[in-house]
Every structure is written in structure tokens, then in C-alpha cells.
A and B are shown apart, each in its own frame.
Chain A
Amino acid sequence: EIVLTQSPGTLSLSPGERATLSCRASQSVSSSYLAWYQQKPGQAPRLLIYGASSRATGVPDRFSGSGSGTDFTLTISRLEPEDFAVYYCQQYGSSPPLTFGGGTKVEIK
């Protein structure tokens, strides 16, 4: 099973600032089968990034993903008020189980 470790656990930032979220895998994620999701309280997760760096339909270009192998990053270039939420990474390329990271909460400073 591939374990995903996200850091930091909480990121306290102000609107307009840049957010950098990390996701580290216990073993290489094949073919960059790595996704990022955003979840707001009381809502289902929403797909932001797939294939490590491709934005899902309708996702603003302030969101970008990068990385390969075991180290991946989600960057939000300038935080908007609606971006304060919890973010999860997920790997979906290996044999089951598909796994999620523990999440990073981006909160207003």
C-alpha cells in the first residue's frame, strides 16, 4: 500500500498570498497517477488536479500541480477567499488500495 504524507497539516495565510502544499509518497507513484482534491465543510471533495499537473475542467489557473515519483506539490498562486479549505492528494495508479493523504487545511491568518 502506498502511504501519502501531506505537509504541513495546517497552513495559515492571508488572501493574496501564495500557498505551497506538499504530498510525499512512500513509494513511486506510477505514471504520475496523482490527484489533488479540495473539500469545504459539509461538501464532497472536488477534483482540482489529475495526472500530477493537469487542471480539471473549470479549475482556475491559479491552481497548479507539479512533481513526479514520490514528491508532489500543489501551488495556489494567489489565495482567493473561496480557496480556504482542506486539500487532499490521492494516488490511483497502483494496485488497490487507492489511497489519500491526511490533508492540509488552508486557513485564513
Chain B
Amino acid sequence: QVQLVQSGAEVKRPGASVKVSCKASGYTFASYAIHWVRQAPGQSLEWMGWIIPGNGDTKYSQKFQGRVTITRDTSASTAHLDLSSLRSEDTAVYYCARSYSTSSEFDYWGQGSLVTVSS
């Protein structure tokens, strides 16, 4: 069965960086895009960017350009989200999600990783 399993919760200081991982199983990792979406407490969902694991192509929301990097390790079927220069407003649950193409619905989601930014 398809699963996306994310890394655990993180607590970071303002100005630091965080790396969140998403390990895929149950399907061919290279054949589906992986998106990162975040949700601040009590708020809606916010798309951050995607990666095509097959070729490493990425696209980021302009809001996060310069602070976000999405990478993948095809040998480990894992995608990573790096977010730098953290501020308190980055406190959120970060989700990875799968789609058949970059213009497809998100059919499977990871369980979420809470990132707390606090001094």
C-alpha cells in the first residue's frame, strides 16, 4: 500500500534551518511528484513547492523562494524539505503529498511533521 512517512517533530530557534523528510513506499517513487504543504495552527493549507523525483526538477512558491529547497534521494525513495532563516511564523505542520503529475490532485499525504520555531 502507498505510504508517505515523515520525520518527527522539530524545535528550532529563529534564524536556524530545518530539514523535514518524507519516505515513500508502495509505489515507484520516480513516477510521481512530491509536494510540500504547510498548515499553521488553526489556519488553512499553503503549498510550498514540488519536486519530480525522476529528474529532480523543482518549482517553488514565490513566497518561499530563496528560503526553501526540495531535494530527493531516489536510492532511499525519500524527499526532503529544507527551510532556512526560520521565524516564528514558520511554526506549522509540514506535510508531503503525492500527485501523478505536477498538475494533478494530491492522492496520498504524509502524516505531517510539526516544526516549532521559538526562542
Contacts and interface: CB of A to CB of B under 8 A. Distances in A.
Q: What is the interface residue range for chain A against chain B?
A: 20 to 34
A44 B63 contact: no
Interface in A17-52: 33, 35, 37, 44-47, 50-51
A35 B44 contact: no
B9 interface: no
B44 A103 contact: yes
Contacts of A56: 105, 107
A45 B93 CA distance: 12
Given A93-B103, A100-B47, A44 B35 contact: no
Contacts of A44: 95, 97, 109-112
Which secondary structure dominates where chain A touches chain B? loop
Interface in B63-88: 63
8 contacts: A45-B106, A90-B105, A92-B99, A92-B106, A96-B49, A96-B61, A100-B44, A100-B46
Given A37-B106, A44-B109, A100-B47, 4 more contacts: A50-B104, A50-B105, A97-B62, A98-B47
Interface of B: 35, 37, 44-47, 49-50, 59-63, 95, 97, 99, 103-107, 109-112
Interface of A: 33, 35, 37, 44-47, 50-51, 56, 88, 90, 92-93, 96-103
